């Protein structure tokens, strides 16, 4: 049997599995880049993993003849930029309203609300 003979449902299952593996590789890269939850793999090793999983996903997308809708892509990018802009303004607002001690320093949640 070849991949051309597989039922469409099997290809979608395989796509889901490969997409999950891509997500795991991306999470591992995030850990490596942030450095707060160490992984023994190097950035280069993880980059190769991401590339391999992305290639697997792309292969299945091609086999399933799925296409990117350019209008949806443009819309999603615009919404993403809008959310990022809103986040920036929310952070600016929240810094102004966060409780401060008598010396003007920001007071942490723990020290402000959970005084022991």
What are the boundaries of each domain within the chain? 1-67, 68-116
Cα separation, 97 vs 104, in Å, equals 12
Residue-wise pLDDT for 62-82, tens only, equals 999 999 999 999 999 999 999
Task: State if pTM tops 0.85.
Answer: no
The residue length of the chain stands at 116
Instruction: Give the CA angle between residues 87, 89, 93 to the nearest 5°.
Output: 115
Residue-wise pLDDT for 4-53, tens only, equals 899 999 999 999 999 999 999 999 999 999 998 889 999 999 999 999 99
Residue 92, pLDDT > 70, answer no
Number of helices (H), then strands (E), belonging to the chain: the values are 4, 0
Cα separation, 15 vs 1, in Å, equals 18
Residue 3, pLDDT > 90, answer no
Q: For the beta carbon of residue 50, count every other beta carbon within 10 angstroms.
A: 16
């Amino acid at each position: 049997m070849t991949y051309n003979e597989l039922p469409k449902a099997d290809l979608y299952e395989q796509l889901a599995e490969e997409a999950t593996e891509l997500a795991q590789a991306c999470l591992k890269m995030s850990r490596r880049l942030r450095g707060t939850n160490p992984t023994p793999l190097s950035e280069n090793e993880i980059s190769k993993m991401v590339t391999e999983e992305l290639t697997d996903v792309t292969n299945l997308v091609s086999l399933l003849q799925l296409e990117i809708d350019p209008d949806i892509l443009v819309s999603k990018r615009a919404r993403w930029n809008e959310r990022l802009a809103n986040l920036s303004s929310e952070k600016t607002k929240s810094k102004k309203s966060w409780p401060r001690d008598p010396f003007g320093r920001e007071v942490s949640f723990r020290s402000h609300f959970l005084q022991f």
